[in-house]
């Protein structure tokens, strides 16, 4: 039980650190807060609600991992390095793909809700 408590505290500190240092994380977290009640409004089936909320959580997860990679890369070297730049670009691409997935899921759910599908 002690391990779970410590792990939860570490996780909370990570979320707080991302909140303080990353505007994109804050924007995505605000989007999640809006998305949760909206998912219950537009989706009648639980699995669809889970999908709508899940893609938002996935985006936050990928953003946290990207932020961790960027912070670690900056810690390793502040100098311009093409390899580090590529690693950062890959992390950014991962965030972009998670946002694309979230957008597709939400557009389809909204289209269905408004009778367009």
pLDDT single digits (tens) 86-110: 999 999 999 999 999 999 999 999 9
DSSP 71: H
Residue written as tokens 């639980």?
A: 46
The confidence score (pLDDT) of residue 20 equals: 96
Reduced to 3 states, what is the DSSP secondary structure of residue 72?
helix
* Residue range 14-21: mean pLDDT, rounded: 96
Residue 115 pLDDT > 90: yes
pLDDT in tens, 23-81: 999 999 999 999 999 999 999 999 999 999 999 999 999 999 999 999 999 999 888 88
Task: Select from 22, 30, 94 the least CA-distant residue to 58.
Answer: 94
Instruction: Give the residue numbers annotated as catalytic, written as ranges.
Output: 63
Identify the CATH number of the domain in which residue 74 sits: 1.10.287.3610
For residue 105, the enclosing domain spans 2-113
Into how many domains does the chain fold? Answer: 1
Lookup: tokens for 115: 């009778």
In sequence order, which ranges of the chain are alpha helices (DSSP H)? 2-21, 23-42, 46-76, 82-113
Q: What is the mean pLDDT of the chain?
A: 96
């Amino acid at each position: 039980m002690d391990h779970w408590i410590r792990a939860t505290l570490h996780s909370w500190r990570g979320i707080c650190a991302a909140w303080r240092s990353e505007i994109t994380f804050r924007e995505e977290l605000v989007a999640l807060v809006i998305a949760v009640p909206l998912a219950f409004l537009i989706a009648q089936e639980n699995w669809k609600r889970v999908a709508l909320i899940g893609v938002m959580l996935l985006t936050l997860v990928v953003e946290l991992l990207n932020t961790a990679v960027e912070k670690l890369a900056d810690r390793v070297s502040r100098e311009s390095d093409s390899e580090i730049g590529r690693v950062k670009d890959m992390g950014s691409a991962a965030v972009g793909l998670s946002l694309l997935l979230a957008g597709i899921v939400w557009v389809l759910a909204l289209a269905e809700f408004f009778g367009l599908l």
